[in-house]
A = this chain, B = another copy of it.
Amino acid sequence: MFSTVAVNGEVKRWEDVRLHDFAQGFFFGAGFFTTFRIDGGTPLFLSRHLARLSASVAAYPSTVRAPPPEVMREEAVRDTLRRCLDSDASLGPRFTGVGKLAVSDGKILLTLRPPAPDAERLQREGRTVDSTEPGAYRHGEPTPNHKGLSYFRQYTHMASMPLLANERGHACELPTANLFVLIDGQLVTPPLAAPCLPGIIRQVLLDSGSLNGMHVVEQDLPLARLAEARACVFTNSAVLVTGVTRLLGRNLPDSLSLAERLRAHVLDVASREE
């Protein structure tokens, strides 16, 4: 993480930020965050990230103190990011990497880090998903619909990246990513009630309605049905789309080309929304 951060729009050194100012976030995980990609100084899908973050804060008005509305506005956050990049020679106005916005205790904290070290390799080679955590979530439970500071359940699974499933044996998501599988010519992703995060890239793909002749749909995904998958990808805001070259023991070589096409679509939408 870089030492330049911002709290409610004020550029600071990370070392100067007090735990005191984020106490409810720390002691009770009472807060939310979002992670977004920055390409050459431009944040991708920033307005979508802020809309989700604001919706999460608004969903828990009595437990998470909201920052002043003006510091959550898109233009204000863009301006804050610009001032962070300009003020730190190790960043610079053309910075490429990952931004994070964390909200708790009436404040919004912007932090920055370099691109994920494995991002390029993941794009080129994809990765395998070979285990499941059945019952990791309960169907309909609301907290996985928010990217919360109480992130421990997902955090404990980050190293092994299993497919998280609910008590019905339906696929939900990966610890830091949404899941899409190509089944019967359709690109299927679990519904929010599975539950899963309403991921930004997930929504960009759903918004398209159909891509290269494939309908993009939300549908319950029993783990047994994954044996029918012709290809599989996962999506998140840092790496965008990653091909799953082996899913629960089955090789899926077509996942890499599917990931490439979806990534191109996502980048195209990003440039149009800019």
Contact = CB atoms under 8 A, between A and B. Distances in A.
A15 interface: yes
Given A135-B138, A140-B135, A155 B21 contact: no
Interface size class of A (residues with CB under 8 A): 35 or more
A28 B141 contact: no
A33 B138 CA distance: 25
Contacts of A138: 135, 138, 167
Given A17-B19, A138-B135, A150-B153, A62 B159 contact: yes
A22 interface: yes
B18 A22 contact: no
A102 interface: yes
A128 to B, nearest CB: 20
A25 B26 CA distance: 6
Nearest to A102: B27
A29 B15 CA distance: 20
Contacts of A27: 33, 100, 102, 149, 151
Nearest to A32: B152
In this complex, the member of A1, A20, A135 whose beta carbon has the largest number of chain B beta carbons within 10 angstroms is A20
21 contacts: A14-B20, A18-B18, A19-B19, A22-B26, A26-B26, A26-B149, A27-B151, A28-B152, A29-B29, A29-B148, A29-B151, A29-B155, A60-B156, A135-B141, A138-B138, A138-B167, A148-B150, A150-B150, A150-B152, A150-B153, A167-B167
Given A18-B18, A27-B102, 12 more contacts: A17-B18, A25-B26, A26-B26, A28-B151, A28-B152, A29-B148, A29-B151, A60-B156, A148-B150, A148-B152, A149-B150, A150-B153
